[in-house]
Amino acid sequence: MKRARPNSLLGAPLQYAPQNELGVVFLFARVASRLQFRIEQIRPRFPDCIAYKRTGDHERLVRVEFEFRSSSFRAHGHDPRQCDCIVCWHHDWPDCPDRIAVIELKKYFHAVPKVWIQPARQDQWNWLEGRNCVSWGLSKRATIGDLLLMYRCRPDKAIRDLYTVVGEMERSKADWRKGDCYAARIKRLCLLGSPVFLEDFRNHRILRTAWFVRTRFQGNLLVSEYWPYIYDMIVARNPQTKKALRAFDPETM
């Protein structure tokens, strides 16, 4: 028996989320007609696909490259001038040239959202006060629909705010360190009247052994595998949040 498998998909001809470029090609065939594409040729060289897209009363030539992650287009050294569209499962290339359209297939098939613990230093807390929607620096692996458990660092050391990612990832200059960062718009789901503290994680029979607890919540932390335990702690203390977290109920994810 496999110890792990990809996320399950709903409404898709593929049981699980694709893990490679071949899966992307397979799923694109399901949505190509809906997106007004007529495929003329699939071939083993760049660009992978020659298609025509219906626009008004005419068709426009579209040169398509398939990638599992959009950033692989750059890693593979492809010429942006020879391509009009990237079809991928995960769009993780905010600096993609404007002339290239990107079709991120996960938007067309329900995939289980990821859950992150997102640290916020004390000098950043003001951005969480009285704002329902803000731009926040995130892991470049974060995508629209993911859940963010905003962890207020010292002196609070507690999760008080729950947000979800609602905007596309963009690359910009970081305001808390040198260099650039990836950021997206995030929207508040709810406030926790009874916060969950770092000490609660340390006292939990399962969570106390988790790597992110041992490192004291440093960095952008992908904690999806532990979400059922965290969810139970949050809802036990804040029953009113169950409605806000309906889309993230572990039994349906």
| 185-211 mean pLDDT | 96
Q: Which two tokens stand for residue 15?
A: 């049981």
Angle, CA 71 vertex, CA 67 and CA 77 arms, to 5°: 85
The DSSP symbol for 8 reads B
At 5, the pLDDT band (50, 70, 90 cuts) reads low
138-147, 158-167, 176-185, 210-219 — which is least confidently predicted?
Answer: 176-185
CA distance 114 to 20: 19
Question: What was the pLDDT predicted at 179?
Answer: 72
Local structure of 86: helix, strand or coil = strand
At 229, the pLDDT band (50, 70, 90 cuts) reads very high
Identify the residue whose tokens are 């995960």.
90
| 130-144 mean pLDDT | 87
CA distance 24 to 91: 12
| 229-237 mean pLDDT | 97
251 has a pLDDT exceeding 80: yes
Question: What was the pLDDT predicted at 4?
Answer: 59
User: Which one has a higher pLDDT value, 6 or 233?
Assistant: 233
Establish how many alpha carbons lie within 13 A of residue 32's alpha carbon, considering only the half-sphere containing its beta carbon. 23
| 96-113 mean pLDDT | 88
CA distance 215 to 72: 31
Local structure of 119: helix, strand or coil = strand
38 has a pLDDT exceeding 60: yes
Answer yes or no: pTM beyond 0.75. Answer: no
187 has a pLDDT exceeding 90: yes
1 has a pLDDT exceeding 50: no
Pinpoint the residues of the chain covered by CATH 3.10.590.10. Answer: 112-248
CATH code, residues 112-248: 3.10.590.10
pLDDT, one tens digit per residue, over 45-84 is 999 999 999 988 899 999 999 999 999 999 999 999 999 9
Dihedral sign for Cα atoms in the order 197, 202, 203, 205: positive
CA distance 231 to 212: 16
Q: What is the DSSP string of 15-69?
A: SB---SHHHHHHHHHHHTTTTTEEEEEE-SSSSSEEEEEEETTEEEEEEEEEEEE
CA distance 86 to 68: 10
| 7-19 mean pLDDT | 81
Count the Cβ atoms, other than its own, within 10 Å of residue 25. Answer: 16
Local structure of 203: helix, strand or coil = helix
